[in-house]
């Protein structure tokens, strides 16, 4: 089968390329970076260098392929205050759908997210809702899988500086909360050993490894059934404190705690690291939906029968390596 992939050699796309090639498929990888061409070809895939915003390029690249894996490129949420991510999601998804129809591709796997069924209440994840609605416009003879992964395990790297006692933790809120949990003795030793967010503690989250996402995409590529469907994918279902405990043990801080803060404190923290007020509010709302459970409500109603193979204990080893490098 001839398959075209977006996402260059990212966290999901690279293991997906390797898996599909191992299965004997012919793979074309779209990348916006010419510097990735050699690396893509070294894997045994064909490189197509261009922008997914370019419909002519996208259509030409899709031609002659049997299936397409479509994902939205990462948005510069914190560096671009002029970003209209909802409009970009609409435009890129529309390009995908038009290129699929123009090229005659009959099988599509669209990378979405938990919470994509929500038009409101999921914060920044609304762009996945927008994208899914565009892909739903494909005709009935095109098989479409909306793949909704849980929370990516590598997003936990964002807490690394905090665990080390840097960034937001250096502020008054971090010191106060650390003192509350560990007392003066702990504070005098240094107040690393805490994760702060407006979700955490006993909140149960479906976590997922990009490797397990790649496996699920490959399964959908090889599946015989057609039609339209939603598929959830997760590697493990754990509370935030269970996550903190696993990561803490891996880095020599078995006392690591994941502590809840208020939505206002979270919004202020996002603003301090450079987010616009709109983006800060949207990320806070997404986290709040995780805390209250609404973000995973449909997931737990339609959870996958089998969870992925890569567990948080596996991720913790990579986390510890990176933690000790810094």
pLDDT tens digits, one per residue of 106-150: 999 999 999 999 999 999 999 999 999 999 999 999 999 999 999
Q: Do 134 and 196 fall into the same domain?
A: no
Q: Range with the lowest mean pLDDT among 96-100, 172-176, 306-310?
A: 172-176
Rounded to the nearest 10 degrees, how much is the dihedral formed by the CA atoms of 306, 307, 309, 311?
-160
On whether both 119 and 258 belong to a single domain, the answer is: no
If phi > 0 it is left, if psi is from -120 to 50 it is alpha, else beta; for residue 245 that is: alpha
Task: Look over the chain and give the mean of its residue pLDDT values, rounded to a whole number.
Answer: 92
Lowest mean pLDDT among 1-10, 75-84, 99-108, 185-194: 185-194
**The residue count for the chain:** 326
Confidence at residue 167, expressed as pLDDT on a 0 to 100 scale: 57
pLDDT of residue 248: 97
Both 228 and 80 in one domain: the answer is yes
Please answer whether residues 21 and 27 qualify as being in contact, where contact means their C-beta atoms are separated by less than 8 angstroms: yes
Is residue 177 domain-shared with residue 292, that is, in the same domain?
A: yes
Let me know whether 225 and 115 are in one domain: yes
Q: Are 138 and 40 in a shared domain?
A: yes
Q: Look up the CATH number of the domain holding residue 84.
A: 3.40.50.720
- Per-residue DSSP letters for 219-274? HHHH----SEEEEEE-SEEEEHHHHHHHHHHHTT-TT-EEEE--HHHHHHHHHHTT
| Beta carbons of 109 and 221 less than 8 angstroms apart | yes
Asked whether the predicted pLDDT for residue 211 surpasses 90, the reply is yes
Helix, strand, coil content of the chain in percent (nearest 5) = 50, 15, 30
On whether both 158 and 146 belong to a single domain, the answer is no
Write the pLDDT tens digit of every residue in 39-72. Answer: 999 999 999 999 999 999 999 999 999 999 999 9
**Tokens of residue 273, six digits:** 């690291």
Q: What pTM was estimated for this model as a whole?
A: 0.92
Rounded CA-CA distance 16/253 in Å is 34
Q: Which CATH number goes with the domain that contains 181?
A: 3.90.25
Mean pLDDT on 174-194: 48
Distances (CA, A) of 68 to 27, 45, 110, 248, 271: 10, 14, 8, 39, 37
pLDDT of 303 > 80? The answer is yes
How far apart are the C-alpha atoms of 211 and 317, rounded to whole Å? Answer: 15
Q: Is the pLDDT of residue 172 over 70?
A: no
Number of domains making up the chain: 2
Same domain for 56 and 94? yes
Whether residues 217 and 248 share a domain: the answer is no
Parent domain of 63: 2-150+209-233
Same domain, 119 and 188: no
Percent of the chain with pLDDT over 90: 85
Confidence of residue 273 (pLDDT cuts 50, 70, 90): confident
Are residues 40 and 159 located together in one domain of the fold?
no
Question: Which whole number is the average pLDDT over 73-81?
Answer: 89
Residue 40: Cβ-neighbour burial (10 angstroms; 0-12, 13-18, 19+): buried
Q: Does 180 lie in the same domain as 106?
A: no
């Amino acid at each position: 089968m001839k398959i075209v992939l977006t996402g260059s050699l990212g966290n999901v796309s690279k293991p997906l390329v390797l898996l599909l090639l191992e299965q004997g498929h012919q793979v074309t990888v779209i990348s916006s970076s010419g510097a990735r061409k050699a690396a893509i070809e070294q894997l045994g895939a064909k490189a197509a260098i261009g922008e997914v915003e370019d419909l002519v390029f996208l259509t030409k690249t899709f031609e002659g392929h049997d299936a397409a894996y479509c994902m939205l490129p990462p948005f510069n949420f914190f560096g671009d205050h002029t970003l209209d991510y909802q409009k970009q999601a609409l435009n890129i998804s529309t390009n995908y759908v038009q290129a699929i129809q123009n090229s005659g591709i009959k099988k599509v796997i669209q990378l979405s997210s938990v919470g994509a069924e929500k038009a409101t209440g999921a914060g920044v994840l609304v762009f996945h809702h927008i994208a899914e609605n565009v892909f739903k416009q494909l005709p009935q003879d095109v098989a479409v899988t909306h793949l909704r992964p849980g929370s990516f395990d590598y997003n936990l790297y964002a807490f690394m500086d905090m665990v080390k006692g840097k960034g937001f933790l250096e502020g008054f809120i971090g010191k106060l909360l650390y003192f509350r949990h560990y007392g003066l003795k702990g504070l005098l030793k240094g107040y690393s050993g805490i994760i702060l967010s407006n979700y955490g503690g006993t909140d149960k989250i479906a976590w997922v490894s990009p490797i397990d996402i790649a496996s699920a995409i490959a399964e959908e590529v090889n599946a015989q059934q057609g039609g339209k469907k939603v598929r959830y994918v997760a590697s493990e279902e754990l509370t935030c404190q269970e996550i903190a405990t696993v990561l803490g043990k891996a880095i020599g801080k078995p006392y690591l705690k994941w502590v809840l803060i208020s939505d206002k404190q979270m919004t202020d923290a996002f603003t301090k690291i450079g987010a616009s007020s709109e983006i800060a509010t949207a990320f806070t709302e997404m986290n709040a939906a995780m805390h209250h459970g609404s973000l995973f409500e449909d997931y737990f109603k339609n959870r996958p029968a089998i969870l992925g193979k890569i567990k948080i204990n596996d991720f913790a080893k990579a986390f510890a390596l990176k933690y000790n490098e810094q």
